[in-house]
Structure 1
Amino acid sequence: MAPFTAIFFGALFINVIATFRSSVLWNKYKHFFGFSRSSADSLVTDKNSAESRAKHSALMKKYLAVYLLAVFSDWLQGPYVYALYDAYGFTQHDIAVLFVAGFGSSMVFGTFMGGLADSCGRKKFTIFFAIVYALSCITKHFKDFGILMLGRLLGGVATSLLFSVFDSWLIKSHAEEGISAMLSKSFSTAQYGNSIMAISAGLIANRAASLTELKPVSNEGDILYAGGYLYPFDLALIALVFVGIFAFLFWGENHGGDKSEEEGQTQKRKHWYDGFVNAYFTTIHSKQILFTGLISSLFEGSMYIFVFMWTPAMQAKIKGDIPFGLVFATFMVACMAGSSIFSIAIGSMKNEKIGVYALAFATGTFFLMALAPSDTLCMFAFLLFEMTVGLYFPMMGTMKSVIVPESKRAAIYNLYRIPLNFIVLFSLLTDLTPRTSFFLCTGMLATATFLQTRVVNYQSTYYSTRDEEDDLEKGDNTSKPLLKNAEINDNESQEMEGEPEKKALVSMSPGKKD
């Protein structure tokens, strides 16, 4: 059996080194390790002026207070959804139907919610997310298939908002504060915190679920239940209440586009689904936006398949008991190390290039998973993939902030989740072996790597944190460089928002050159 404890401490050691190297402490103490201050460091220091750092710190405190509680509530629930349904006595088929309903809800209802969030306000929809997800937690107390189905539908809507509205609010807030050049750092910090929340939630939920047994509230009926596996959902409910309160108190409202654009968009919109329609036409007429969506769907789809398959893959190689809690904690430590490595790499490499290397590396890890002859080598491949997950999310968050037009950001982010949900549904409804699934993910990620190279080739006009050095040396931290291409895409997409007849004619014509 693989030495899981030794592997955990090895991953923790690597994470500590990567975290120190990516922190501000490195510049202060690196001379002890024989490193001197370089011109690149001077550039970064000038870029992150005292005023910009103060703005960034204040913004991130407000954002993380809400975001980390939101992901904490999500992590609390994850391990116990299936266990709760099983404890209620539902069949495998019933449980599969409930899971499919959740992903289907995210795919259908979530798509339109993004457009509404862009027009009505991201802060409002963050509070709406907290309310909807809290209601989903409440439904878990009922041993009734119809009520649980309602909870899954609500949970699907909430999940789509979690992965779109929060990022959209953060990106627009950076632009309003003139600190868009610091977005990469913000996404890296958020991903690092997300991993910490995952570990904390796993430990707390495990302790809470073991306090009492799951049992009916009244002896007279068995519909309303409490205790046991429901405690993690109760804790998530409490966290979500604070998500809504903190968002209401600390966040300012922002929309897609500036005030004049918002008024123009409001006048143009005649139907509640116009946001989705405009986002669709914007996406299909820009290769950069389309490729970015396909890349995110392919990588995140592979990640979901990995979540479903790593347990049976390990069980096939190990006959004894597997310390699942320790393994999961090791995964999250590796993910934290990946986000720290991103923070290091972004100082000397274009964000989009980091994406190419991360996706290519992830492709290799799945190929290794499929062919690994031993549990130790398989575990090693798992950890390498989790490290690429830590690299991927801040990279993709930064890339989408550049490419996706602000006025339709949340709508397009939810549009990206449609192929992702199809991939997840496919993995749920087919009976693939772990080995076959890993080979499938290898092909998906190889395709994503190819598309990422195409995006890099299209980005001759794009900017990342290392471009426009003259501006950075002068301390120019405005949002103009980083958001230049998003503004271009926004202007181009507005041309597509004419009458439906015009859109239909354009969609039938040859694709424009990007």
Structure 2
Amino acid sequence: MLFSAFEAWYIHEHVERHDFPAEWIPATFARAAFWNHVLAVVAGVAAEAVASWMGLGPVAPFVAAIPLLALSGALALHNWGENYDRQRAFSRTCAGGLRCLLSDRRVLLLGTIQALFESVIFIFVFLWTPVLDPHGAPLGIVFSSFMAASLLGSSLYRIATSKRYHLQPMHLLSLAVLIVVFSLFMLTFSTSPGQESPVESFIAFLLIELACGLYFPSMSFLRRKVIPETEQAGVLNWFRVPLHLLACLGLLVLHDSDRKTGTRNMFSICSAVMVMALLAVVGLFTVVRHDAELRVPSPTGEPYAPEL
């Protein structure tokens, strides 16, 4: 909900309130994504420093984050305005978003892909620590490595969609889903009880983060082209309903399972979910393959959703 609200809020501010050129939106999101990753890498190293190197314990990074969070909130309150000029009732926003979702097959398929892909990523966030922590991995450095891999993915996206290579976001979305499917299959074997391979698991996790770097700008580009600006908030919130339901269901299943076998089984389930996402990608590709609106006309940096 937070990420959906921010993206919809920014697009409205950019287009409606400040009347900036729409072509600037991708560059703005790309720059924000770059610094988001850089700060995430620094945050991971800082967390490892205060928790392990300084011996302050695992709670220390959370305590250290409090003043930064307060500062961010103060800056937002002081500098960001609210979109009060076109208020819509919550029920109308939801109803409009649902109509848009059901009336356009492209939107429905895009929402299916987002729900399946991002629910797996949500579950991955809870699984990587119990997989690597028993082997003594420095979790802060591991997190920084993940963010660096995601930054590499978003950089590859910009290179791939440049004038030299001119790949399309739809192609890169397909590639991202394929990479995650392959990585999850790797994890089902590397987390087998009694045959754990933390190095292979770590490589698979890096590939997942690399895929996220490709996925989020591709998805943001397609969402911006397919979903009308007036329905952005409603549609994005509907996208997140099945996303969170799937993620919660997966975590409940994991909670009721043995730790080792449960983790492996969850990766197997996630693999099946991602195969369904891949089928949805194929369906979307079939629908939009002749849609010139969904093609990148010139080399630009594309918007990037906030990091999970």
**Range class of TM-score, shorter chain:** 0.7 to 0.9
In structure 2, the partner of 1:439 is: 268
Partner Cα distance (1:384, 1:309) in 2: 15
Deviation at 1:228, TM superposition (A): 8.4
- State yes or no: 1:458 paired with 2:280: no
Partner Cα distance (1:272, 1:340) in 2: 37
Residues 401 and 308 from structure 1, CA distance in 2 versus in 1: closer, same or farther, beyond 3 angstroms?
same
Q: Which amino acid aligns with 1:451?
A: A
* TM-score, structure 2 normalization: 0.80
In structure 1, the partner of 2:306 is: none
In structure 1, the partner of 2:140 is: 325
In structure 1, the partner of 2:217 is: 394
Q: How does 1:51-130 map to 2 (within 5 A)?
A: none
In structure 1, the partner of 2:174 is: 356
Q: Helix, strand or coil for the counterpart of 2:296?
A: coil
Q: Helix, strand or coil for the counterpart of 1:180?
A: coil
2:6 to 155, 161, 166: 166
Deviation at 1:363, TM superposition (A): 0.9
Deviation at 1:286, TM superposition (A): 1.9
In structure 2, the partner of 1:247 is: 80
Residues 213 and 183 from structure 1, CA distance in 2 versus in 1: closer, same or farther, beyond 3 angstroms?
closer
Residues 243 and 212 from structure 1, CA distance in 2 versus in 1: closer, same or farther, beyond 3 angstroms?
farther
Partner Cα distance (2:61, 2:167) in 1: 49
Deviation at 1:236, TM superposition (A): 1.2
Partner Cα distance (2:118, 2:6) in 1: 18
Q: Which amino acid aligns with 1:180?
A: A
Q: Decide whether the 8 Å contact of 1:299 with 1:448 is kept in 2.
A: yes
Q: Which amino acid aligns with 2:129?
A: T
Q: Which has the larger radius of gyration?
A: 1
Q: Helix, strand or coil for the counterpart of 1:164?
A: helix
Residues 182 and 300 from structure 1, CA distance in 2 versus in 1: closer, same or farther, beyond 3 angstroms?
same
Q: Which amino acid aligns with 2:270?
A: C
Partner Cα distance (2:142, 2:55) in 1: 25
Residue segments in structure 2 that go unaligned for 5+ positions in a row: 303-308
| Alignment RMSD (CA, Å) | 3.1
- State yes or no: 1:313 paired with 2:100: no
Partner Cα distance (2:30, 2:90) in 1: 34
1:202 to 41, 44, 66: 44
Q: Which amino acid aligns with 1:238?
A: L
Q: Decide whether the 8 Å contact of 1:402 with 1:462 is kept in 2.
A: no
2:155 to 340, 343, 348: 340
Deviation at 1:368, TM superposition (A): 1.1
Partner Cα distance (1:184, 1:445) in 2: 27
Residue segments in structure 1 that go unaligned for 5+ positions in a row: 1-159, 215-226, 483-514
In structure 2, the partner of 1:302 is: 120
Q: Decide whether the 8 Å contact of 2:41 with 2:145 is kept in 1.
A: no
1:187 to 29, 34, 37: 29
Q: Decide whether the 8 Å contact of 2:93 with 2:231 is kept in 1.
A: yes
Q: Which amino acid aligns with 1:446?
A: V
Q: Which amino acid aligns with 2:115?
A: S
* TM-score, structure 1 normalization: 0.50
Deviation at 1:399, TM superposition (A): 0.9
Partner Cα distance (1:302, 1:182) in 2: 31
Partner Cα distance (1:203, 1:237) in 2: 21
Residues 466 and 184 from structure 1, CA distance in 2 versus in 1: closer, same or farther, beyond 3 angstroms?
same
Deviation at 1:288, TM superposition (A): 1.2
Q: Helix, strand or coil for the counterpart of 1:400?
A: helix
Q: Helix, strand or coil for the counterpart of 1:358?
A: helix
Residues 187 and 240 from structure 1, CA distance in 2 versus in 1: closer, same or farther, beyond 3 angstroms?
same
Deviation at 1:462, TM superposition (A): 4.2
Partner Cα distance (1:228, 1:179) in 2: 40
Q: Which amino acid aligns with 2:37?
A: S
Q: Sequence identity, in percent?
A: 26
How many aligned residue pairs are there? 282
